[in-house]
Amino acid sequence: SDEEEPATLEPPARMGRGKIEIKRIENTTNRQVTFCKRRNGLLKKAYELSVLCDADVALIVFSTRGRLYEYATNR
């Protein structure tokens, strides 16, 4: 007799974000794409911090080519 095991009521496994190793990205193109995405995220977080906490925030980021990116609250 083929008896099936009773179904378990466990929730399906969730796909979370995988952890990445924090080390230099060797591929130049991938490194530039990552820089751009993370820079934008960092600027957004600086803005959110200033709004949510009514804080004065200043952020300066230089790319490998020496280009300046900045954020500062207006007060």
| SS3 state of residue 34 | helix
Give percent of the chain with pLDDT exceeding 70. Answer: 88
pLDDT of residue 49 exceeding 80, the answer is yes
Per-residue buried b or exposed e for 33-59, using 16+ beta carbons within 10 Å of the residue's own CB? eeeeeeeeeeeeebeeebeeeeeeeeb
CATH number at residue 62: 3.40.1810.10
pLDDT of residue 27 exceeding 90, the answer is yes
How does residue 14 score in pLDDT terms, banded at 50, 70 and 90? confident
Identify the residue with better confidence: 75 or 38.
38
Domains identified in the chain, total number: 1
7 is a domain residue: no
Per the CB < 8 A criterion, the answer to whether 71 and 59 are in contact is: yes
41 is a domain residue: yes
Q: Is the pTM of this model over 0.75?
A: no
67 is a domain residue: yes
What span, in angstroms and rounded, lies between the C-alpha atoms of 14 and 53?
A: 33
| Across 29-56, average pLDDT | 98
Predicted confidence at residue 44, as pLDDT, reads: 98
